[in-house]
Structure 1
Amino acid sequence: MQDLPEIGLGTWENTDPETCAESVRIALEAGYRHVDTAQHYENEDAVGEGIARADVPREELFVATKVHPVRFGLAHSEVIEGLEASLDRLGLDRLDLLYVHWPVGNYDAAETLQAFDELVDRGLVDHVGVSNFSEELLDEAMDHLDSPLFAHQAETHPLLQQDDLVAHAQEHDYHHVAYSPLARGRVFEMPEISEIAERHDASAAQVSLAWLLSRENVSVVPKATGEAHIRDNLGALDLELDEEDVERIRGIEREERFVERDGAPWQEG
C-alpha cells in the first residue's frame, strides 16, 4: 500500500476564497503535504490558488477531491466530465486521489467505478477512493474496480470510533481517512480528552488526532483555517500517547454522529 500523509488539511466549509487559499498556503508551507477538498465544497478554485501560492513542489503534494452525486452525478460520463472540471478549477493536470463522495443518487458500482478506472488508465487520477460507504458497499466496490481501492473516507473520532470500518481497511490494506476527527469541536468538551491533554502538555485536538493516528491504516483530515490551529493540529505527529491513554479513549461508550444525509448507508434497515 502506497503511503498517504498521516495528516491532511480538510477544507469543508472553508468557502471564503482568500481565507481558503491562504489556509492552504500556510498549511503546505508549515509541513502539510495532503490537501482534501470536494466538488460539493465549492472551493476547488481557492484550494488550487493556495497550492499555486505555496513554495512547495507539486510532486511533494497529495491532492484529493470528490465527485458529488448531485453536483455532477456519478454516471460514467458525469464522472469523467466532473473530474476534468475539478482539475481545471484546481489548476492541476492530474489528481492524486479521487473519491466517490456519497453512494447515493445515480451511483452504480459497475458504471461509476468503471469511469474511475478509465481516469486512472488515462493518467488523470493516480488513486481511487470512496467516502461514506458501508462494509458491504466497500466489498462491492472492490469487486468492480480494476484499480486497487486506495482509501475510504468516513466520519471518525472518539465519539464515533468506526471499529468495523477501520478493521475492514486493515484487513484489505487500504487507508481509512478520518474526517471530522475532532467531532465538530466536541472533543474539547470531553473530560477524558482534556485530562490526557493536560498530562501530556498537549491540546485536546492533538490528543484526538494522535489517538486516531495510533490505529493502523488511519489518516486524518482536520479542518482548520487559522495558522495557530493549522500548526497545532500538525503537532499531533509529535505526540505519543501511552497505552493507558489509548485504552481510555477507546473505552468511551458515548456515540454521536454529526454528518447525515438522506440515503446514507447507515440509515438502511
Structure 2
Amino acid sequence: MTPTPTHLTLANGVQMPLLGFGVYRSSPEETVQAVSTALADGYRLIDTAAAYGNEAQVGEALRRSGVARDEVFVTTKLWISDYGHDEALHGFDRSMRKLGLDKLDLYLLHQPMPTEWERTVAAWKAAGQLLESGRTRAIGVSNFSTELLGDLIDRTGIVPHVNQVEVHPFFTQPELQATHRRVGIATQTWSPIGGVMRYFSDDPETAQSPLSHPVVTALAEKHGRTPAQIVLRWHLEHGFSAIPKSVRAERIAENFDVFGFSLSAEEVAAIDALDTGVRSGPNPADINTSKYKLTIAD
C-alpha cells in the first residue's frame, strides 16, 4: 500500500500537517490537558484563535509538552474587532504574547466581514506585512467565498495560502474547492466530522450527523473503523487539512488513528454524494462587529 501523506505543501513551500487538533469551544480549563494529550498522541498541528479565549493555554501546553517548537505547526486567527491595518498588527502581537511564541506558522483572518470590507482588506494587507517580515510562515483566511477571495486578491495581490472553511460530508462546497485548486489555496476544514450541526442546532440531541448516516456506518463496519475515522479519512483522501476537536482522551487518540487505511475512489464518491448543499454554521456574510460584539482583551 502506498504510504499515506501526512503533510501538504502550501503555495510558498511550507509543509502543513494534513491532520491537526482544534480547540474551538474548549474552555481554558480543558485546553491545556487536551492539547497536551494531542501532542503526546502525535498531532503536530494545533489550531486556536483569539476569539476562542484559550491561546495562553495552548502556549502553556506547547511548553509543557517537551516537543520541539519547530515540530509543531501553530495556527491562530485575528478576530473581527481587530480588523484594520494597525489594529491587525496589534492583534497579532497580542496573540503572540498570549501564546508565548516568537514566530507563528499560520495566521488567519477569522471571518470575511463583507459589510466591513475595507477593514478586512486592511487587515489582510497587514497579514501580508507579517509574512514578509518573517513573523509568520504562512497566512490565510477563514470562511471566505469564491467571490470574496477574488476581490481580496485583486485588491491586494496577496493570495491566501489557506482558506479554513466548513466542510463535512453533508456540506462539501465543491465549487469553493475548485476555486482553491485553481488559485493554489489549501483547503482546511473546521468541524470536519460535522460537530457544527450540534453546535448551532436548536436541539443538539436530534441534530443530524454524518457519523450516523448508513453510508458512513457501513464503511466503518467494512474497514473495522469508527464512523469518525471514516469521515476524517475522507478528508485526507481529498487532500484537505482537517482539524477535529475533542477534550476526551480516547476520542483524541481515535481521531489521529487514520493513517493506517485508505478509502477507494468509489467509497470517497459515495460520501461525496451525501452533500446537501446546506451550511450548518453561521453564514459568513452575516458576521460583522454590529452583530458580534466580542472584543479581545489585552
| TM-score normalized with structure 1 length | 0.91
Change (3 A) 1:263 1:147: closer
Structure 1 equivalent of residue 246 of structure 2: 224
Partner of 1:213: 236
Indicate if the aligned counterparts of 2:169 and 2:275 stay in contact, CA closer than 8 A.
no
Indicate yes or no: 2:150 matched with 1:127: no
Shift of 1:255: 4.1
* Secondary structure at 1:142 match in 2: helix
Separation in 2, partners of 1:68, 1:118: 18
Question: Deviations for 1:41-89, whole angstroms, at most 9, x for unmatched residues?
Answer: 111011111111112100111100110112xx21101100000000000
Q: What is the CA–CA distance in structure 1 between the aligned matches of 2:158 and 2:151, rounded to whole Å?
A: 13
Structure 1 residues 194, 255: closer, same or farther in 2, change over 3 A? farther
Partner of 2:18: 6
Report the counterpart of residue 93 of structure 2 in structure 1.
84
> Is residue 36–residue 64 contact of structure 1 (8 Å, CA) maintained in 2?
yes
Q: Kindly tell me the number of residue pairs found equivalent between the two proteins.
A: 261
Match of 2:68?
A: 57
Tell me if structure 1 keeps the 8 A contact 2:50–2:78.
yes
Q: Does the C-alpha gap of structure 1 residues 102 and 110 become closer, same or farther in structure 2, counting only changes over 3 Å?
A: closer
Equivalence for 2:211: 188
- The equivalent residue for 2:259 is 237
Aligned residue identity for 1:96 = D
Distance in 2, matches of 1:144 and 1:94, equals 27
Inter-partner Cα distance in structure 1 for 2:44 and 2:284? 33
Which position in structure 1 is the counterpart of 2:169?
158
Structure 1: runs of 5+ lacking an equivalent? none
- Counterpart of 1:68 in structure 2 is 79
Cα distance change on mapping 1:147 and 1:126 into 2, 3 Å: farther
Instruction: Give me the whole-angstrom Cα distance separating, in 2, the residues matched to 1:42 and 1:201.
Output: 37
CA–CA separation in structure 2 for the residues paired with 1:126 and 1:200: 37
1:100 aligns with 2:112: no
| Deviates further, 191-200 or 242-251 | 242-251
Q: Any conservation in 2 of the 1:117–1:146 contact (CA below 8 Å)? A: no
8 Å CA contact 2:172, 2:275 repeated in 1: no
Instruction: Measure the CA separation in 2 of the matches of 1:60 and 1:148.
Output: 25
Aligned-residue offset at 1:173: 1.8
CA contact (8 A) 1:74 1:107 kept: no
Normalising by structure 2, we get a TM-score of 0.83
SS of the equivalent of 1:154 reads strand
How many angstroms does 1:262 deviate by? 6.6
The separation in 1 between residues aligned to 2:144 and 2:57, in whole angstroms, is 28
Partner letter of residue 226 of structure 2?
A: S
Cα distance in structure 2, aligned partners of 1:247 and 1:146: 35
Range moving further from structure 2, 177-186 or 200-209: 177-186
**How far 1:161 moved relative to its partner?**
0.6
Counterpart position of 1:248 = 270
> What is the CA RMSD across the aligned residues, in angstroms?
1.8
Q: Secondary structure at the match of 1:4?
A: strand
In 2 relative to 1, CA 78–106 (structure 1 residues): closer, same or farther, beyond 3 Å?
Answer: farther
Matched residue type, 2:218: E
Aligned to 1:173: 184
Q: Would the alpha carbon gap of residues 255 and 78 (structure 1) be closer, same or farther in structure 2, given more than 3 Å must change?
A: same
Q: Which runs of 5+ in 2 are unaligned?
A: 1-10, 199-208, 288-298
Instruction: Report the secondary structure of 2:80's partner residue.
Output: coil
Q: Which residue of 2 aligns with 1:137?
A: 148
C-alpha distance in 2, partners of 1:51/1:44? Answer: 11
